[in-house]
Amino acid sequence: MNLDTLRMAKQLGAYFPPDQSEALTEALANLVESDLATKRDLKELEVSLKRDIEALRSETKEMEAALRRDLKELEASLKRDLKELELRLEVKIAETKAELIRWVIGAGFLQTALIAALLLKLVK
């Protein structure tokens, strides 16, 4: 925005002494030339910010969707791993049961053989 300082000084000169009108004109010129935001600047900034916010919302939605997919995949993977561990545990339990039965039967046969041997020895 350009300010016609000569014209302003003349207009202010009708109400103020020359030195005051010059000082006021200079102060207003400095103010206008400074980095004050205009309505247009603010509107452009608003439009830019709205566009950036929309882009962030879109990115956030995409990231949320990706995270949901990743979580579903992780959940499915964990379920598969848990099922595999359950199957392994069932196999180990079955193996342990079979081993325990062999030991019990073996101990029973041994005990029976010892009793039979003692009875035979007593009978003789």
Band (pLDDT 50/70/90 cuts) for residue 104 is very high
Q: What angle do CA 57, 58, 59 make, to 5 degrees?
A: 90
Contact 9, 21 (CB under 8 A): yes
pLDDT of residue 7: 86
pLDDT at 116 over 80: yes
Q: What angle do CA 71, 74, 79 make, to 5 degrees?
A: 125
* Mean pLDDT for the stretch of residues 60-79: 98
Does pTM top 0.85 for this prediction?
A: no
